[in-house]
Structure 1
């Protein structure tokens, strides 16, 4: 931790995160670091399968809680749309059942026609076939109306939807999220009672969804005579986030929710100095948020709580020898992450292989990307790999010849050095990064890689070609004394522990 001072015994901390913890190295490192500093830490996350899961991260406890999501559905999804689609089936699943029943009827008719030589009445079969076709067209018409009506409301930007959004914003202000993004209550209903039972002295809420959960727990505790401090760790600048769903209310609802509960935070931490300034201005925070970079541990070769573990060998995972050029991307997969440029470039990069260490391999984006690779005849040179434990990430990445960050221009992408930037750096990889502001400026200053114009295939090929032609030139940037010293989690953990101690000491007075 960088400090010999132990935390006061029994100071209970509850950390909140809106995911399954695995794959979120920042949250894992926070929980472990706080627990190793002497705090009693419980990390609450979301279960992936409706069952509670528990394990430990060193001295920290992890609990993944089941979270039903009925409030994520909108009222109109349960109703028929009489004006837009008067013939549509009700949204009960009956349309799919009727469609399947027609298919079964036609299949039966096909078999009975094949039995014609066994005395089946041909005229009756013809009449029944006509009836099946007519009924099938009627069912298809009704299903199509349902599909069209759902598509019309999917983005929630019809005149009726826009009026609804405007009305509740005008009526309730920042409380309007209760109407325009009610699914946020599902997180409260899954986590709230568990937090209350744990009776923490400090709640650490990771990102915007958990801010409200933590703030409401603080309010309830204070009403019962317990003082609870709230730390909000803001990972993103919400106005600059690409919406996670396709409808118009997502950003508006989440921003209103964040504005309502930001004043309850006793301390705010974040991932970059630029984001700290934006948050202070947006929420009129009395103090500038403290910065904790998304840096890897200085000694990531093993998890100190679990004893020796085998290392992850990237080239072995890809079944490649040391002579094969290999570029790697590590992190979440989504259109704005720009992974398509890595696949599209392969026909122009003979012999080069791409490793994608990412999540959700069966999601629409990655399955589409792999279909594109198949189309281009390069699927055998694209390796889809699963996440490894965070302490194995850097050793694994070091097996590549270059680390790629091809993200597109979105406001949040411009303002921070993201996790993979630090992980690639500690793996001493030459970097190939798109020209998003902060990362591009850093790479140009340090000389640790090449910058290309985001979404520009020709420029990406140029940058990778230059790096692979002379990787030693770029690796030499890491030889500069002190280059990586502040890019370690050990330095960031000192900030975390300092924030906790400051709040809890103030609480004790």
Structure 2
């Protein structure tokens, strides 16, 4: 690194979930790379640690039973507060550039960057207007689309988490030349012999035999995550020794546990509460196979990179955004998306040849290291993108 930068990091996150973990890890990585980061937010995340798989509280201001239209008005109004905070931070901190996590209706970063003649680097994790429209949660769609187009087109660099999302954002107004794909990451230094010993102790605490194959999931659990695929797989021929570990909470959990009881496999399903990020490695390291039974078509799942970092084989749907990180039977296991039978078949085959499956897990770690899919790697990508602009 030739220079240390002063980075003004703006976000609108209140939730204590994967979003917060992403913010926290990138801020930490930028600081570890030697940069000075000032976090501009109503609820700072950089110096705190919460449960990464706890219940999401909402994207902005805690959603305390407000009608969606009222929440959306508050999101729009937040821009005035954000611009005041950013202007004040610019006066005090004198940043080299602004880094902003994109949010619905949010234009404050772009406006202040233009006023201050600073570069705006924009992180984007989903096509928000399309997503909220599909969920029928967007009341001011035309306004939201106009703001999205302005911000995507005005940012000096745009960081989508997948190439699939990049193409989506280009259709929404982003300049293709400004886009740099930056997937999620993990910290492989948090995994090692000590972590594996802690994982073995966790297994023993739940009565899981040392030789029993374990499949697992870490994160917030919703119905669309299709954890029922895993429960059903426990009842397949040859799977009677397999245990399922679920780490986290969410509305799908009661039905998953209930289904396990109905299928008489409940004694092999183990539920662990939501844990803070520092405890994720020892929980993931319990698994022989880490699951992603379902995922949206554009995201870069945090848990996938945790599975890679742990050297745990990942099983995930065969779809374009997943194939950006996983090559079937090389560094992961792919199954036909939305097909529970295909999931069960591929999982049973993987657990029937654990030597091969563990080799796939090691290959996942190798690829993570080769591609530098780490938080510090992402910090370096952000800085490199800024330096392209500064030349």
TM-score category of the 2 structures, normalised to the smaller one:
0.7 to 0.9
User: Which residue does the alignment assign to 1:14?
Assistant: 9
Alpha-carbon distance between aligned partners in 2 of 1:367 and 1:190, rounded to the nearest angstrom? 40
Report how many aligned residue pairs link the two structures. Answer: 369
Q: Given the alignment, which residue of 336, 340, 359 partners 2:228?
A: 340
Question: Equivalent residue of 2:367, what SS?
Answer: coil
Q: Describe how 1:50-69 pairs up with structure 2 within 5 A.
A: 55=47, 67=61
Alpha-carbon distance between aligned partners in 2 of 1:357 and 1:74, rounded to the nearest angstrom? 30
Shift, 1:466, TM fit? 0.7
User: Which residue does the alignment assign to 1:39?
Assistant: 35
Shift, 1:34, TM fit? 1.7
User: Which residue does the alignment assign to 2:87?
Assistant: 196
Alpha-carbon distance between aligned partners in 2 of 1:495 and 1:353, rounded to the nearest angstrom? 39
Q: Deviations over 1:390-426 (max 9, x none)?
A: 4553453222111111115x4325xxx5322222122
Contact 2:119 2:156 in 1 (8 A): yes
User: Which residue does the alignment assign to 2:127?
Assistant: 237
User: Which residue does the alignment assign to 1:108?
Assistant: none
Alpha-carbon distance between aligned partners in 2 of 1:54 and 1:397, rounded to the nearest angstrom? 23
User: Which residue does the alignment assign to 1:137?
Assistant: none
Question: Equivalent residue of 2:13, what SS?
Answer: coil
User: Which residue does the alignment assign to 2:190?
Assistant: 300
Q: Given the alignment, which residue of 66, 75, 97 partners 1:184?
A: 75
Q: Deviations over 1:150-188 (max 9, x none)?
A: xxxxxxxxxxxxxxxxxxxxxxxxxxxxxx943422543
Structure 2 CA distance for partners of 1:295 and 1:212, relative to 1, 3 Å: same
Q: Deviations over 1:172-230 (max 9, x none)?
A: xxxxxxxx9434225436644433332253332213338424234445xx2xxx33332
Larger C-alpha radius of gyration, 1 or 2?
Answer: 1
Contact 1:352 1:381 in 2 (8 A): yes
User: Which residue does the alignment assign to 1:496?
Assistant: 382
User: Which residue does the alignment assign to 1:323?
Assistant: 211
User: Which residue does the alignment assign to 1:355?
Assistant: 245
Q: Deviations over 1:128-162 (max 9, x none)?
A: xxxxxxxxxxxxxxxxxxxxxxxxxxxxxxxxxxx
Alpha-carbon distance between aligned partners in 2 of 1:72 and 1:369, rounded to the nearest angstrom? 29
User: Which residue does the alignment assign to 1:369?
Assistant: 256
Alpha-carbon distance between aligned partners in 2 of 1:243 and 1:321, rounded to the nearest angstrom? 47
Alpha-carbon distance between aligned partners in 2 of 1:411 and 1:468, rounded to the nearest angstrom? 27
Contact 2:292 2:316 in 1 (8 A): yes
The normalised TM-score by structure 2 is: 0.77
Say whether 1:403 aligns with 2:293.
no
What is the root-mean-square deviation of aligned Cα atoms in Å? 3.8
Q: Describe how 1:62-81 pairs up with structure 2 within 5 A.
A: 67=61, 73=67
Q: Describe how 1:73-472 pairs up with structure 2 within 5 A.
A: 73=67, 181-185=72-76, 187-188=78-79, 191-199=82-90, 201=95, 202-209=97-104, 211-218=106-113, 222=115, 226-238=116-128, 241=131, 246-247=136-137, 249=139, 254-285=144-175, 287-301=177-191, 313=199, 314-316=202-204, 318-348=206-236, 349-358=239-248, 361=249, 363-390=250-277, 392-407=279-294, 410-412=296-298, 417-439=300-322, 443-472=326-355
Alpha-carbon distance between aligned partners in 2 of 1:293 and 1:403, rounded to the nearest angstrom? 19
Question: Equivalent residue of 1:347, what SS?
Answer: coil
Alpha-carbon distance between aligned partners in 1 of 2:273 and 2:334, rounded to the nearest angstrom? 27
The normalised TM-score by structure 1 is: 0.61
Shift, 1:255, TM fit? 3.7
Alpha-carbon distance between aligned partners in 2 of 1:477 and 1:444, rounded to the nearest angstrom? 10
Structure 2 unaligned regions, length at least 5: 50-58
With 365-374 and 328-337 compared, the bigger mean Cα shift is at: 365-374
Shift, 1:328, TM fit? 0.8
User: Which residue does the alignment assign to 2:56?
Assistant: none
Question: Equivalent residue of 1:233, what SS?
Answer: strand
User: Which residue does the alignment assign to 1:168?
Assistant: none
Shift, 1:283, TM fit? 1.0
Alpha-carbon distance between aligned partners in 2 of 1:350 and 1:243, rounded to the nearest angstrom? 43
